[in-house]
Amino acid sequence: MIRFGAFGDMVLLTVLLRHLHARFGRPVDVVASGPWSRPLLEDYSSVNRLVLIRSRRTPYWLSLDQRRLVAWLRARGRGPTWYCDMHPVGADLLSRAGLPEEFICDSRDYAWQPGESFADRYIRLGNELPAAFAGQVPPLPAGTTARSAQLEVSPRSRELAENWLARRGLQGRAFAVVHPGSRHIARRGLRSRAGADKYWPESRWGEVVRAIREHYPDQAVLLSGTPKEYSLNQDIVRCAGIADVHNVADDLPIATLLPLLERAKSMISVDTGPAHAAAALGCPTVSLFGTANAALFRPGGATTHAVALTGTVDGVQNILGITVATVVTAWLDLLHRSEGARQLLSSR
């Protein structure tokens, strides 16, 4: 399988990985890019070998990674292959490796169906076969694969997270995670944050943090993000004006983030990769969307404990149309429903 996706894209890809693993009875070799792909997928049971390239856009003869990939593909031999990017850049690596088109199931050949989420599309693609293998492997029955992403956290990562919590005086504490930033905001440099598609004002995030404290006074609040989002988080800490709020964007590698999300009581976030990861790990997640399709990119797929919120300004979808009251109400309702589901399962 080939997918050169962003953080959230690779989380959603686990739907297809799990589906193909079940269908063929063996884990999948994955070709990807980006520093997030290894911590997300290297311990995933549906992945056999993970091969990363730094850039698919670098000219082929200038990229040692691409040439090594092509050599590996040739040595690996021909087999059913799924190309899961909608962009053609990178597809030429398969032809360079001598893989005929009839060995490839190309996602670009399949039109999107009305109302289809990424999870449902991946299940549909997983039941297809490249032309050279038509009829050789039966599709999986409907309902065999869950319509949601799933991530797996290794014991080693959990241990690292425990040490991380201990260093910050948070070991044994219950906590909620708030993730207000995204690369759209981080990339703006000295420009106003307000011009970013996923920007929601710091004052509103501060109100959300205070609401978490009001309803769950014993929980710490962790503001997650990348180092470039640290200053945004600091502004939100000042707006919240309460204690026990921790800006952890300065030291939060993905290998630590995942086990933290696994044990977090809830997450409130903009539409970004960590929101998909939280939902895939079973954390009740509320995600605020800018202009993206909330049904298509619902956190973690179609059936996770998640809510995708949208708002409008002057009749156009805009994250600024989402009110604090809407976020807090959705968050409380999700927590109540999640707790009810847990109680029902424990009573069986």
Give pTM, 2 decimals.
0.93
pLDDT in tens, 263-309: 999 999 999 999 999 999 999 999 999 999 999 999 999 999 999 99
- The answer to whether 262 and 108 are in contact (CB under 8 A) is no
Q: What is the predicted pLDDT for the residue at 280? A: 97
Contacts of residue 274, defined as CB under 8 A and 6 or more positions apart, other chains included, come to 7, 179, 224, 257, 261, 267
Contacts of residue 269, defined as CB under 8 A and 6 or more positions apart, other chains included, come to 177, 178, 179, 180, 275, 278, 285, 286, 287, 288, 299
Cα(217)–Cα(124) distance, rounded to whole angstroms? 44
Calculate ∠ Cα 39-272-176, nearest 5°: 85
Give me the mean pLDDT over the 40-56 stretch: 95
- The answer to whether 64 and 42 are in contact (CB under 8 A) is no
Domains and CATH numbers, the chain: 7-133 (3.40.50), 155-347 (3.40.50.2000)
Extract the tokens encoding 334. 């999700």
Say whether 5 sits in a helix, a strand or coil: coil
Q: What is the predicted pLDDT for the residue at 194? A: 78
Q: Is the pLDDT of residue 201 over 80?
A: yes
Q: What is the rounded (10 degree) CA torsion for 289, 290, 296, 298?
A: -10
Percent of the chain with pLDDT over 90: 87
Q: What is the predicted pLDDT for the residue at 344? A: 43
**Which residue's structure tokens are 């109680």?**
343
Distance of CA 87 to the CA centre of its chain: 19
Q: What is the DSSP string of 132-187?
A: GGTTTSPPPPTTSS-SB------HHHHHHHHHHHHHTT-TT--EEEEE---HHHHT
Q: Lowest-confidence range among 59-73, 112-126, 182-196?
A: 182-196
pLDDT in tens, 176-193: 999 999 877 766 665 678
pLDDT in tens, 216-274: 999 999 999 999 999 999 999 999 999 999 999 999 999 999 999 999 999 999 999 99
Q: Is the pLDDT of residue 346 over 90?
A: no
Residue (of 182, 323, 164, 167) closest to 257 by Cα position:
164
